[in-house]
Amino acid sequence: MADDLEDLDEAVRRHDPDRWLASRFIADREERADVIALYAFNHELARVAGAVSNPLMGEIRLTWWAEAVAEIYEGRPVRKHPVTLALAQAVLRRGLPREALDNLVEARFPELDGAAVDEGPLMVLAARALGVEHAGVAAVAAGRLTEAKQIPAKAFPAVAHLALQRVNGPLARRVAITWAVIRGRV
């Protein structure tokens, strides 16, 4: 199981380096593993649209993930996939709501036809996995930055991706994160 967690961590580092970098600010190993499980789940969903030759094949893959989420919440045996197993642990430890995970899957169906995906719900879910339910997090996730005011520092790894999208280069990203922490914005 530890190898699977390391593999997920490496996959997120490789495919979503901004979120992975932000996850390094999570001191608690279990919390970090749970957030990484969410980010790995998001990566699996995100790659469906680019990996299929037609929308029907994408719908089949997304339905597979929807069924995997259902298994987690219905107490059935969970599919033997590193992401589903880690996600099941995150749900168990953090009490993550099924509706939020179902919404992450459902949001990817329009992407099969070229629509953009709102990743705000992922930010809110990651913050919840860190034990933070704050109106500022929801405002940041919805792109209403002026309403966000100051969010709890513990939520920083969940929302940092949005800030990092505006900064170019890995060194600049690290500086931006450090500067935000120093200035008390997170």
Structure tokens given for 49: 């649209």
| Structural Rg of the chain based on CA atoms | 16
Instruction: Report if pTM > 0.75.
Output: yes
pLDDT confidence tier of residue 41, bands split at 50, 70 and 90 = very high
pLDDT tens-digit profile of 3-12?
A: 767 899 999 9
pLDDT tens-digit profile of 157-178?
A: 787 766 555 555 565 666 666 6
Domain map of the chain by residue range?
Answer: 2-133
Close Cβ partners of 89 (under 8 Å, ≥ 6 residues apart): 33, 34, 37
